[in-house]
Amino acid sequence: MSREISKMEIRAILVLLIISLLISGATLAYLTGLAGKIAEIEERIAEIEEAVAPTPKPLKIFATAETYDFVTDIDPAYSFSGEIIAMANVYETLLVYTGGVPEVKPALATSYEVTEDGLNWTFHLREDVKFHDDTPFNATAVKYSFDRIMDLEAGAVFIWDPVTELEIIDTYTVKFVLDYPAPLQRIVASVYGAWIYSPKTAEIEDLHDWFNEGHDAGTGPYMIKSLERGVELVLTRFDDYWGGWEAHAADRIDEVIFKIVEDATVRVQMLEAGDVQHAEAVPAEERKRLELTPGIQVFWESTFFSHYAFMNTESPYLSDKLIRQAIAFAFPYEDWVTWGEGAYIQPVGPIPHGMWGHFADLFQYSHNLTKAAELLAQAGYPDGGFTLKYYYISAVPTGTAGEMWKTELAKLGITLEVTGMTWPSLWEVIKDGPEAAGVYDICAFAWWPTYITPYDFLYNMWHTEEEPLWNAGFYSNSTFDELIDNASKLEGPDPDAALALYRQAQEILVEDCPTVFMDDLRLAFVMTTNVKGFDYNPAYGYDTFIFWEMWLED
Partner 1 sequence: MGSLKRYVVKRLLQTLVILIGISAITFFLSRVAPSDPAALWVGLHARAEQIEKARKELGLDKPLHIQYLIYMRDLIGGRWGTSYRTRRPVIEDIINYLPASMELAIAGQIIASLVGIPLGVIAASKKDKKIDHASRLFGILTVSIPSFWIALMLQIFFSRTLGLLPLEGRLSSNVARMNPIERVTGFYLVDSLLTGNFVAFPDALLHIILPALALASYSMGLSLRMTRSTMIEVLREKYIVTARAFGIPENTIKFRYALKNAIIPTLTVLGIVFGWSLTGVFLVEVVFNWPGLGTYTWRAILAVDYPVIVAVSIIAALIIVIINLILDLTQVYLDPRVRL
Partner 2 sequence: MTTLFKGSGEKEARFREIRLIMYQITRNPLTLTSLIILGAVVFMAIFAPWISPYPVYGYNLEEKYEPPSLEHPFGTDYLGRDILSRVMFGARLSLLAGVAIVVISVAIGWPLGVIAGYRGGIIEDVIMRITDMFLAFPSLVLALVIAFLLGPSLINSMIAISVTWWPWYTRLARADTASLKQRAFVEASRAVGLSDLGIMFRHILPNTVAPIIVQATMDLGTAILAEAGLSFLGLGAQAPEPEWGLMISGGRSVILSAWWYATFPGIFIFITAAAFNLLGDGLREALDPRLRRIRGA
Interface residue with partner 1 among 341, 469, 479, 511 (CB under 8 A) is 469
Q: Work out whether 58 is an interface residue with partner 1 (CB under 8 A).
A: no
Q: Which one of partner 1, partner 2, none interacts with residue 469, CB within 5 to 8 A by kind?
A: partner 1
Among 94, 247, 97, 80, which residue's Cα sits nearest to residue 157?
80
Pairing of strands 442-447, 255-260: unpaired
Interface residue with partner 2 among 155, 399, 468, 493 (CB under 8 A) is 399
Q: Work out whether 479 is an interface residue with partner 1 (CB under 8 A).
A: no
Q: Which stretch binds partner 2 (CB under 8 A): 145-153, 257-265, 364-372, 465-473?
A: 257-265
Amino acid code (one letter) for 488: S
Q: Work out whether 404 is an interface residue with partner 2 (CB under 8 A).
A: yes
**Do 197 and 141 contact (CB within 8 A), yes or no?**
yes
Q: Which one of partner 1, partner 2, none interacts with residue 399, CB within 5 to 8 A by kind?
A: partner 2
Task: State in angstroms the smallest separation of the CB of 36 from partner 1.
Answer: 7
Task: State in angstroms the smallest separation of the CB of 432 from partner 1.
Answer: 9
Q: Which residues pair with 309 in a beta bridge?
A: 444, 516
Among 492, 483, 333, which residue's Cα sits nearest to residue 401?
333
Give CA–CA dist 550/535, Å, rounded: 8
Binders in 296-355 for partner 2, by CB under 8 A:
335, 338-339
Give CA–CA dist 424/241, Å, rounded: 40
Among 306, 336, 333, 338, which residue's Cα sits nearest to residue 523?
306
Task: Provide CB contacts within 8 A for 492, sequence distance 6+.
Answer: 114, 118, 178, 181, 182, 183, 184
Which string of DSSP letters, residue by residue, matches 180-249? S---HHHHTT-SSS--B--GGGGGSTTHHHHHHTT-----SSEEEEEEETTTEEEEEE-TT-TT-S-TTG
Q: Which one of partner 1, partner 2, none interacts with residue 410, CB within 5 to 8 A by kind?
A: partner 2
Q: Work out whether 21 is an interface residue with partner 2 (CB under 8 A).
A: no
Q: Work out whether 114 is an interface residue with partner 2 (CB under 8 A).
A: no
Q: Which helix (H) or strand (E) holds 143?
A: helix 139-152
Give CA–CA dist 63/253, Å, rounded: 10
Q: Work out whether 425 is an interface residue with partner 2 (CB under 8 A).
A: yes
Interface residue with partner 2 among 47, 161, 209, 285 (CB under 8 A) is 285
The three-class DSSP label of residue 105 is strand
Q: Work out whether 44 is an interface residue with partner 1 (CB under 8 A).
A: no
Q: Which stretch binds partner 1 (CB under 8 A): 427-435, 484-492, 496-504, 506-514?
A: 427-435
Which of 113/334 has CB closer to partner 2?
334
Task: Provide CB contacts within 8 A for 299, sequence distance 6+.
Answer: 524, 525, 527, 534, 536
Q: Which residues of 385-405 are buried (b: 16+ CB within 10 A; e: fewer)?
A: eeebbbbbbeeebbbebbebb
Q: Work out whether 546 is an interface residue with partner 2 (CB under 8 A).
A: no
Q: Which helix (H) or strand (E) holds 502?
A: helix 495-512
Task: State in angstroms the smallest separation of the CB of 160 from partner 1.
Answer: 12
Q: Which stretch binds partner 2 (CB under 8 A): 160-168, 302-310, 392-400, 449-457?
A: 392-400
Q: Which helix (H) or strand (E) holds 112?
A: strand 109-114
Q: Which one of partner 1, partner 2, none interacts with residue 275, CB within 5 to 8 A by kind?
A: partner 1
Give CA–CA dist 148/131, Å, rounded: 17
Binders in 257-286 for partner 1, by CB under 8 A:
259, 261-263, 265-266, 269-270, 275
Task: State in angstroms the smallest separation of the CB of 12 from partner 1.
Answer: 5
Task: State in angstroms the smallest separation of the CB of 55 from partner 1.
Answer: 18
Interface residue with partner 2 among 301, 374, 403, 485 (CB under 8 A) is 403
Q: Which stretch binds partner 2 (CB under 8 A): 201-209, 355-363, 420-428, 444-452?
A: 420-428
HEC secondary structure over 183-195: CHHHHCCCCCCCC
Interface residue with partner 2 among 130, 208, 289, 389 (CB under 8 A) is 289
Q: Work out whether 286 is an interface residue with partner 2 (CB under 8 A).
A: yes
Pairing of strands 442-447, 387-393: parallel
Interface residue with partner 1 among 142, 154, 233, 281 (CB under 8 A) is 154
Interface residue with partner 1 among 38, 101, 292, 437 (CB under 8 A) is 38
Instruction: Count the site residues for partner 2 by CB under 8 A.
Output: 28
Q: Which residues pair with 552 in a beta bridge?
A: 531
118 DSSP 8-state letter: S
Give CA–CA dist 517/513, Å, rounded: 9
Footprint on this chain of partner 2 (rule: CB under 8 A): 263-265, 268-269, 283, 285-286, 289, 335, 338-339, 394-395, 399-400, 402-404, 406-407, 410, 418-422, 425
Footprint on this chain of partner 1 (rule: CB under 8 A): 2, 4-9, 11-13, 15-17, 19-20, 23-24, 27-28, 31-32, 34-36, 38-39, 42, 69, 72-73, 78, 80-81, 153-158, 192, 212, 229-231, 259, 261-263, 265-266, 269-270, 275, 422, 424-425, 427-429, 431, 450, 460, 467, 469
